[in-house]
Amino acid sequence: MSVAQKFMTLKSRLEALPKGRARGLAFVLGFLAAFAMPPLYQLYLLVPAFSGLLWLVMASSTRWQAFVVGWWFGAGFFAAGLYWVSFALLVDAAKFGWLIPLATLGFAFGFGLYSAFTTWVVRAVPGQNLVGKALILASSWTFFEWMRGWFLTGFPWNPLGSVWAFSEPLLQGASVGGVLGLSLLAALSATLPGALAQPGRLAKALNVAVLCMIVITWGLGQQRLVEASQETVPNVRLRLVQPNILQANKWKPALRESHMLTQLKLGAASPRKSERAPTHVIWAETSAPFFLSRHKPWLDMVGKMTPKGGLTILGAPNIASLGAPPQRPMQVTNSILAIDDAGKITAQYDKFHLVPFGEYMPLKKWLPLEKITQGAGSFLPGSGLRTLNLKGLPPVSPLICYEIIFSGEVVEKGGHPQWILNLTNDAWYGKTAGPYQHFVSTRLRAVEQGLPVVRVAGTGMSGIIDGYGRVTAQLALGEQNSVDGDLPKPVPAQTFFAKYGNSTALILIFLVGLMGVFMTRINGHCPPAKKA
């Protein structure tokens, strides 16, 4: 049997699948694709997953059927990739546990819509040429991934480009095209093998071309690392404090003093022999479990334990306005505070990109629910990205929690920071894939901007990352400890991505999609898809 006959037989079998089985198969394929994401990196599963999705779309008789197939694929992908979100609801299971099925299905089928529109586009373009359709699938997937990063405030978690984070050389591609460029490369690598089912040399040539692109990206990345600077900022020694306090215990009034004392002790511990003492101590997001700015005795205590001439930088809720209840309720920000050795707050940053349902309730008029974080009411957003000048440190771009996941939106325009500070609290998600995925996002931002990132998480993973995405100091997930390290200098020359952002990747997405449309029109015409 020829390749063409085998493909037609396969297509006929897929077309004959009952709708329920086709959707179930799509869900399984999407579920498998998520295993390629951090921390598992089972990249080989992307090929059967996306190639199978391509074949299912080609076997769909209408655009609506293709839409539904893509929807179920996306549901499987996001159900497996974001399962850890439901763990946040277990912190107060008595109050929020009942929401777990709704949250799981909501995330899966809500974000699955991006995949649904992806496959709708593939089916809507006339033609049956598999090469062209594979290119359209890869470009559409990446385009809607970009859209997911900003639409409805955005949630660019687990971009497909994250799969390359297992390799430091391949990760260097983010310095040019950002994670979006890496996503396009991953999508092409996963979809084009599916085009080999259709006879012709073009599919083989493009698969070889993509393989060469991966090898070239690796080679250039390896060369970049060989030539990489390892310079550090003189007279700066950072101490990262990770107290490993469980979220269920974090805000208990009887334990707050103990939490503070634990962190003070870790921050003031003597350095190891032959190591320099820290000049700056950094705690995690909301590491002070109360309004620290309103408690002078505790401020004095923090100042007393701060290195002389240095700072303790920590996260804490902060009162922005006392208001006049009930007309004007108290307004609270999620903040980073810099405290000197006299116990004085010398700088403050307020988180501006708040987490929906966690730090504020969207559609509050229609959803009679409370946010899942501590305290009544929503947090007040800050004014936006800032560059802080802190005593004894180069200019820094501070970010809190998931603000670090937004590619191209981590540095103030014209601010010229020399490093990025990310304080977070991943205790909500326990020892799941979530904290590992979050850490990979941090490494990607370092490579994109060419700036070192210092990440301190309450339960891990904390670490110092240089501008090439290399981890120079780290604390494991679930470890109670502190780690000291020098602050790396930025990459000597500004990265291409730092100059042009996602423009390069978007141009490539457009060109790949245009090439796909062109190929479907010159080879393998078929009648247009039926309207749903």
| Residues labelled as active-site residues | 285, 351, 401
Burial of 16 (0-12, 13-18, 19+ CB in 10 A): exposed
Burial of 376 (0-12, 13-18, 19+ CB in 10 A): exposed
Strands 462-465 and 232-242: unpaired
Element (H, E) at 219: helix 201-226
Distance between start and end Cα atoms, the chain: 35
Element (H, E) at 124: helix 100-124
Determine the Cα–Cα distance for residues 421 and 428; give it in Å rounded to an integer: 20
Q: Which residue has the tokens 């699948």?
A: 17
Q: What are the angstrom distances between the C-alpha of 323 and each of 229, 327, 330, 371?
A: 50, 8, 5, 21
Spatial contact of 267 and 241, defined as CB atoms under 8 Å apart: yes
Both tokens of 263, joined, read 């962190």
Question: Which strand ranges, in their side-by-side order, compose the sheet holding 471-475?
Answer: 396-400, 419-424, 453-457, 462-465, 471-475
Spatial contact of 349 and 388, defined as CB atoms under 8 Å apart: yes
Q: Residue 230, SS3?
A: coil
Spatial contact of 45 and 28, defined as CB atoms under 8 Å apart: no
Determine the Cα–Cα distance for residues 415 and 50; give it in Å rounded to an integer: 41
Q: Provide CB contacts within 8 A for 58, sequence distance 6+.
A: 11, 14, 128, 130, 133
CA 432 to chain centre: 15
Instruction: State phi, psi for 153 to the nearest 5 degrees.
Output: 75, -15
Angle at CA 387, nearest 5°, toward 243 and 503?
105
Determine the Cα–Cα distance for residues 440 and 166; give it in Å rounded to an integer: 9
